[in-house]
Structure 1
Amino acid sequence: MEEASEGAMDQSGAAQLKRRLGRADLRAVPEARRALRDLLRHWGRPGKSEIAELLTSELVTNALIHTDHDAVLTATVSPRGLRVEVRDFVGRRPRLRVPNADDGTHGRGLVLVQSLADAWGVRAHGVGKSVWFELDGGAA
């Protein structure tokens, strides 16, 4: 990972994690989880933090294996909740699909995000897109 800023606090009391993830470097997945865990140490309930780690892993993995480009992870935690965004530099939108038994463990990432996040979506950029999710700070 080339650049990282962790725990930066803004005027509203929000803390932010920002990491650039190297192309196809799947070591970034556990490193992103660890950094997010540190950021969320005093946020929400434990169940929400675990969900956030799982969903972040899914978005980071998808960006790294489906784009063959770098990606940027941004997580912002505030009194209102958590927003995690993974930006990549490929315009192709991810497809939400229901996996079947023959898919093994593949194809479930966005289904998990849709099922567990309070909100999620895809936002187009001039170059690429961001896939994001939000969790409120309440009970898991």
Structure 2
Amino acid sequence: MGRADLAAVGEVRGAVRELLRYRWKEEPARVAELLLSELVTNALVHTDEGAVVAVSVAPRRLRVEVRDFVQGMPPVSHVPDADDGTHGRGLVLVESLADSWGVSAHALGKMVWFELDGERP
């Protein structure tokens, strides 16, 4: 996915929805879709290098990782200005809704991840 490929966010979201359909309860699956959309959109809007998504489903934990290929860490405690419209809220949503999350630097780029607790249906 490249920056101009924001339509791919819906495709990734749909793929995760299908993956989780029979593997995870409905409410945490919806939260996972929302947070995934935010992280992928951030990666595509703030880079020209695309992103890679990985999803791990365990009996009581869901982990989503979005990796981009641009150096620099996102501001992790940024509170968006009320005048920003819809911009700047992705990591605030992740921080609010995920059971755990973080950012790790890599030799080339970074990975933003989140985890949700829950149970399979």
TM-score range, shorter chain: over 0.9
Are residues 1:114 and 2:95 paired? yes
Amino acid at match of 1:73: V
Taking only aligned residues, the RMSD between alpha carbons, in angstroms, comes to 1.4
More helix by share: 2
Indicate if the aligned counterparts of 1:99 and 1:108 stay in contact, CA closer than 8 A.
Answer: yes
Residue 52 of structure 1 is matched in structure 2 by: 32
Does residue 42 of the first structure (1) align with residue 8 of the second (2)?
Answer: no
- The residue number in structure 1 matching 2:84 is 103
| Pairing 1:68–2:48 present | yes
Change (3 A) 1:94 1:24: farther
Instruction: Quote how far apart the aligned CAs of 1:124 are.
Output: 1.1
Given residue 59 of structure 1, which amino acid in structure 2 is its aligned partner? L
Total equivalences in the alignment:
119
1:80 maps to 60
| TM-score between both structures, scaled by the size of structure 2 | 0.92
* Unmatched runs of 5 consecutive residues or more in structure 2: none
| Contact 1:43 1:137 (C-alpha < 8 Å) held by counterparts | no
Question: Which deviates more, 109-118 or 23-32?
Answer: 23-32
Stretches of structure 1 that go unaligned for 5 or more consecutive residues are 1-20
Work out the percentage of aligned pairs sharing the same amino acid. 65
- Larger RCO, structures 1/2 (Cα 8 Å, 6+ apart): 2
Distance in structure 1 (CA, Å) of the matches to 2:3 and 2:55? 19
**TM-score (normalizing by structure 1):** 0.80
Secondary structure at 1:43's aligned position in 2? Answer: coil
Letter in 2 for 1:68: D
Task: Establish whether residue 134 from structure 1 lines up as the match of residue 107 from structure 2.
Answer: no
